[in-house]
Homo-oligomer: A and B are copies of this chain.
Amino acid sequence: MLTRIDHIGIACFDLDRTVEFYRNTYGFEVFHSEVNEEQGVREAMLKINDTGDGGASYLQLLEPTRDDSTVAKWLAKNGEGVHHIAFGTADVDGDAAAIRGKGVRVLYDEPRIGSMGSRITFLHPKDCGGVLTELVTSAAPSEHPEH
A-side interface residues, number (CB < 8 Å): 37
User: From residue 38 to 68 of chain A, which have CB atoms closer than 8 A to chain B?
Assistant: 48-53, 57, 59
Encoded as 1 (CB less than 8 Å from any B CB) or 0, chain A from 98 to 128 comes to 0100101000000000000000000001001
A1: B residues at CB distance < 8 A: 27
A28: B residues at CB distance < 8 A: 2
Minimum C-beta distance from A74 to chain B (A): 12
9 chain-A/chain-B pairs, Cβ below 8 angstroms = A5-B8, A18-B129, A26-B99, A49-B51, A51-B51, A51-B57, A80-B129, A81-B125, A81-B130
Known: A1-B27, A2-B48, A21-B129. 15 other contacts (CB 8 A): A2-B27, A3-B48, A3-B49, A4-B48, A5-B5, A5-B8, A10-B131, A12-B129, A25-B99, A49-B52, A50-B51, A51-B52, A51-B57, A81-B129, A82-B82
